[in-house]
Chain A
Amino acid sequence: MIGLVSSLLVLFAISVPIALALGMASLPLLIGKGIPLIAVPQVVFEALDSFTLMALPLYVLAGRLMQFGGIAERLVDLAKAMLNWVRGGLGAAVVLTSMMFATISGSSAATAAAIGSMLIPEMEKQKYPRPFSAATTASSGELGVIIPPSVAMVVYGVITGVSITDLFIAGFLPGLMIGTSLIATVIAISMIKGYGTREAFVLRPYICGVWSALKRALLSLFLPVIILGGIFGGIFTATEAAVVAVFYALIISLFVYRQIIFRDLPKIFAGAAVTSAVVMIIVAFAAMFAFALHLLRAPQIIGGLLTTLTSDPMMFLLLVNVFLIAVGMFMETFAAIIILGPILAPIAASYGIHPVHFGMIMIVNLAIGMVTPPVGVNLFIACGIAKITMEQLIRPLVVFLVVLIGNLMLITYVPALSLALLR
């Protein structure tokens, strides 16, 4: 097993794509055990031949359609109208919009990109420092995979066999909590440092403003009702809800908002397809790696080692969290979930941790990995939009990271947050 893991790490280090490294590292073992290589395509096709996995490209696509089709824009306007009377309101609107966006889109990158590109320039006009705006966007973008629906949960569910619907339901309260605490953080920092402007609060114009934004956004807001209502009510599976979201977003962007035309569609679909394909190819070859680990009885061995280290589930969760944060700093979120999920989930179960709760811990933890330097997809996106370097981003980011890790600890040690809504 040491050979398997160390060859994987070497391949990662010399920048072999993760999907291929997983396949390559498994090869010597398969050959050594005398398993015919025809097992490779067999395992790979079996992993991809899944109706559940189809939810992944569909949620990515829904996110893109929202980004380009005018839905994101209307959600932004609504959040701004609701929050313009507090200092830091525009920054808080970034978080609030991310939360609304996250109830339709399943992806963090799409959330950060859509909202950042609209609100970072506006924050600049209100004299927010750009690194602060970028840090806000990057950290609230991670809500995309925590508030249901979520691509990360689809991947986790597919790979560990935990019900995706249950994971979606479990993500609701933690997502709400993280969102609220981020809003509080943004407002508190803005008040202390005097960022941004505020408008005087006058009841009538305020209500009029919110009302007209609400009317404009009504069709967009109906979308999460269909998706979440459908999933929670047990009417749709995750995949079915995803396709309904895609068609709803298509129809209102094409015919109601008319912000995209038919000619734009190939580009939007191609973008979503390639983005999803590079994640799904990891899922495919991770199946090969999982097969190799299975041959070595790796979960049992690692589990055995851990149990000699600690028999206390609390301590185990702490170790897992520290380990995952370290992994999340360097590894892409989906890759980490795909590689570590099948190893850690059975160990957690042997400690008596609820599988859905453990899934939430892994997802929330690795979502923070999207915001931790040096490798974090949300950081790259936010830096790109705000045109700042990663170094400039770090200082304002630290506060957000502390808040996020605090949330993670609460989610880890208060299982009810994840499990209360489950039936």
Chain B
Amino acid sequence: MRQIVSAIDMLNKGVTLVVAGLLMVVCAAVMWQVTVRFALTMVGINISAPWTEELARYSLIWMVFLGAGVGVRHAQMIALEFGVRALPDRLGIAMRYAAIALAIAFFALLIWVGLKFVDLGRSETSPVLGITKDWVYWAMPFGAALMIVNSLALVADTVLQGRDIRFSADLAPEA
């Protein structure tokens, strides 16, 4: 069990780097767009870079799903936790687990409809980059799968360490 959790955390380390990389791509692409629009036009070079916006938007979509996926590992997805924290321990903890179970069911649904959407995306081409849209749409099933894995890792880790699941967000590493 412990090995599985640490394997998942290795995976999360990797995904975190990817997420950081995606934000760098967003920055670079938007910056390039600004540069082309202002600086190069000013010195008389007229090139346009319509691909930058598309690249930035698609990277952002992946960044959101993967970033939220990583966030699930330490219950960083924003939730109203004061309610369950204020309740008597047993009831509050039971509710928190019920919430996690519901979330996992919802993630499973997202994988299912997400995969159907990926199928649709295969016949759709992005206007500028010319890639098929399934490249973008994979973000949802992939992110949802990561969220399931991380929900399970969160529960496993909490049980192994004998912690109170309601307070796992407080243990999130300083971001």
Contacts and interface: CB of A to CB of B under 8 A. Distances in A.
A246 interface: yes
Given A17-B78, A38-B117, A274-B175, A11 B102 contact: yes
A239 B22 CA distance: 16
A14 B27 contact: no
A273 B99 contact: no
Interface size of B as a range:
35 or more
B78 A19 contact: yes
Interface in A330-360: 330-332, 334-335
A113 B67 CA distance: 21
Interface residues of A, number: 63
A282 B24 CA distance: 22
Contacts, number: 180
Given A20-B103, A51-B56, A281-B68, A240 B140 contact: no
Given A18-B78, A281-B77, A49 B61 contact: yes
Interface string A19-61: 1100110010000000001101110110011110110011001
27 contacts: A15-B80, A17-B79, A17-B103, A18-B77, A24-B102, A27-B109, A44-B140, A45-B140, A51-B57, A54-B26, A54-B56, A57-B26, A57-B63, A58-B26, A61-B27, A239-B30, A246-B31, A270-B16, A273-B67, A274-B70, A276-B64, A277-B19, A278-B67, A278-B77, A281-B65, A284-B64, A330-B80
Interface of B: 16-17, 19-24, 26-27, 30-31, 33-34, 38, 53, 56-57, 60-61, 63-68, 70-71, 76-84, 95-96, 98-99, 102-103, 106, 109-110, 113-114, 116-117, 120, 136-137, 140, 166, 175
Q: List 6 A-B pairs, minimum CB-CB distance, nearest first.
A: A277-B67, A17-B77, A269-B20, A270-B20, A41-B117, A271-B175
Interface of A: 11-20, 23-24, 27, 37-38, 40-42, 44-45, 48-51, 53-54, 57-58, 61, 235-236, 239-240, 242-244, 246-247, 265-267, 269-282, 284, 330-332, 334-335, 374-375
